[in-house]
Structure 1
Amino acid sequence: MAVAEALGPGEWLGSELRGDDTWRIPLTRAHRQEVLAAVHAAGNEAREAHGQEALAAVQAAGSEVSQESFRLPTLAPVLRRVRDELTHGRGFALIQGVPVEELSERQCETAALGLAAHVGAIVPQGPEGAPLMHVRDTGADPARARTKSYQHSGRLGYHSDPADVVALLCVRPAESGGLSSVVSSVAVHNEVVRTRPDLAELLYEPWWHDRRTGDGPDSFYTKPICTVRPGGGVSIAYGPDYLRSAQRGATVPPFTPAQEEVMTLLDDLTNDPRFALTMDFRPGDLQFLNNHVTLHSRTAYADHPDPARRRHLLRLWLSVEGARDRRDRN
């Protein structure tokens, strides 16, 4: 099988974007006021419809947050441009200035859900089908095979999430570390094709992945790292941490020498400063990533000793019209 380079605007180099701020979208004062007004309106509508006691449960379920209920007269067109950038452009964007400092934790959830609803449809996460996940250090041991990446403070390898788009809203950054880095997986794919076409073929063969849902056979499944997208291009589903933890499966074969080699090559390329673009999240930063054409990682972080000041992100998964069909989720 001869693998060709993928074409399209999703190919970029981090070294070329460091002096280009067009991927940053700072909110204006009017935008921030719209977000605050929409959050309070959503809370009032839920309270009137369901009563004070049911308000928290309704907001947690995300059932009351939509484009219609979360009105953003001047910000909505900006979010539509973000959606276009995700599906037809570089595949990522960073909104800056969501007014999290003026919101409670529950209101931050509403803001995240409302802003994301203008970009795509919320995809449930986890066994309980939650509309969003809280990303913070729970003390979970990253060495345990069943620990999820959002539960600990250790470094994460470059990976993609199992939905069209992942959104991360920073409520509070860490005391130190926790930097987010993004690479164009299309650029990485094409570099492998150019330099090691023999290894590129392996990316289109089935690989064992780990859902980390247990120790039984249902936790393990196979799919290629790379698949051809409808209409051309390539979709890349990579996560070295979950590929390596799949080796614990009783029926999962060990990596072949060629698989080890291509994983080493992918890890070298994604960690190459020429490819990677690093972001230091600030409160109110809202990052959107197209998982088909980008990979992202996080450095290890140290938290503030005060629990009220520890790192806290909100993670949402989105299905976005025009993107590839949803992948297998865990």
Structure 2
Amino acid sequence: MAVAEVPGPGEWLGSELRGDDSWRIRLTEAHRQEVLAAVHAAGSEVSRESFRLPTLGPVLRRVRDELTHGRGFVLLQGVPVEGLSERQCETAALGLSCHVGGVVPQGPEGAPVMHVRDTGADPSHARTKSYQHSGRLGYHSDPTDVVALLCVRPAKSGGLSAVVSSVAVHNEVVRTRPDLAEVLYEPWWHDRRTGDGPDSFYTKPICAARPGGGVSIAYGPDYLRSAQRGATVPPFTGAQEEAMALLDDLTNDARFTLTMDFRPGDLQFLNNHVTLHSRTAYEDHPEPPRRRHLLRLWLTTAPGERR
């Protein structure tokens, strides 16, 4: 098959955005008070209608538009997490995210919010999830339209978030190695890390054409490599190994990467179709109340989205 470059606003270089603050949105004090009022008024069910944001709501609609039709990422800064309980931080993350998309349940219990913190899990274990340890993560996308990450507390050191335009990486592969670009559109084995049985493994291309134009890129080297443990999963072909090596080289190239050092109250939104994200390894404070803590939400932007 002949693979072509995909133009559009989703193609950007980190090197061109480091001096550009247009991807940051800083909440005003009025916005912060609006969030706090909505948190304190919220009941057990949080929705776009119940979490009222009269002046911040239109800003979040612009965030959604930037995610779906623009660069594909936004960093919202200044969410008032200071002094809030863990439950209230969850409510703030849910309420803000409901104005961007429909909340998608996560994990075996279908939780609306996942807590990202080091539980002491072994990152080399094939069934450990990426949010359970403090090790470095390869550049990857999550399995929904959008992932949102709210920083409640950063680590003592490390834990930097980095984002790349997967569209820019895709186009670079097309320009330089069109033979490997074709391999990315073929089926690959992925690992859900839900167990050792056949249900944990499935096939899908890394790159797929999107209806109406564009490309959706679903990459995650850690989960692709752990899929090799599957009894019926064939070993990587030489072309697949070469394609992964090229993707890993490009996603770690300073031209493509944009790094964010999360501070309390930073809320990052990423379109998983057109961006890949990573995290450096981190060291935590010894005291549990000071350890790194993020809240993760998965969102859909499809018609009829859940709330």
Q: Give the TM-score normalised by the residue count of structure 1.
A: 0.91
- Structure 1, unpaired ranges of 5+: 47-57, 59-63
Aligned to 2:176: 195
3-state SS, counterpart of residue 2 of structure 1: coil
Write the letter of the residue equivalent to 1:215.
Answer: D
Q: In the TM superposition, what is the alpha-carbon distance from 1:8 to its structure 2 partner?
A: 1.3
- Shift of residue 322 of structure 1? 6.7
Q: Unaligned stretches of 5+ in structure 2?
A: none
Matched, 1:287 2:268: yes
Partners of 2:91 and 2:256 lie apart in 1 by 34
Q: Which amino acid aligns with 2:36?
A: L
Whichever residue aligns with residue 147 of structure 1, its letter is T
Match of 1:183 among 164, 179, 182: 164
Equivalent position of 2:209 in the other structure: 228
Amino acid at match of 2:56: L
Amino acid at match of 1:28: T
Structure 2 residue aligned with 1:4: 4
CA shift digits 1:159-184 (9 cap, x unpaired): 00000000000000000000000000
Equivalent residue, structure 2, for 1:15: 15
Amino acid at match of 1:122: V
**Following TM superposition, by how much is the alpha carbon of 1:102 offset from its aligned partner in structure 2, in angstroms?**
2.7
Instruction: Extract structure 1 runs of 4+ deviating beyond 3 A.
Output: none
Q: Which residue of 2 aligns with 1:98?
A: 79
Q: CA deviation at 1:10?
A: 0.3
Distance in structure 2 (CA, Å) of the matches to 1:109 and 1:217: 34
Correspondence for 1:36: 36
> Per the alignment, in what secondary structure is the counterpart of residue 102 of structure 1?
coil
After superposition, where does 1:293-312 map in structure 2 within 5 Å? 293-312=274-293
Aligned residues: 306
Hey, what's the Cα distance between the residues in 1 that align with 2:80 and 2:40? Answer: 13
| Alignment RMSD | 1.3
Distance 2:48 2:131 in 1: 27
2:127 aligned partner: 146
- Map 1:1-330; keep pairs closer than 5 Å: 1-42=1-42, 46=43, 58=44, 64-321=45-302
1:187 match: secondary structure: helix
d(CA) in 1 for partners of 2:302 and 2:22? Answer: 23
Kindly state the Cα deviation for residue 103 of structure 1 after the two structures are TM-superposed: 1.0
The Cα offsets for residues 14-63 of structure 1, whole Å up to 9 and x where unpaired, read as 00000100000000000000000000000xxx3xxxxxxxxxxx4xxxxx
The 2-side partners of 1:285 and 1:254 are apart by 40
1:315 counterpart letter in structure 2: R
**Contact kept in structure 2, 1:87 and 1:322, CA below 8 Å:** no
1-structure distance, mates of 2:22, 2:269 = 14
Distance 2:198 2:95 in 1: 37
Please give the alpha-carbon distance, in whole angstroms, between the structure 2 residues aligned to 1:160 and 1:197: 22
In terms of fraction of residues, the more helix-rich structure is 1
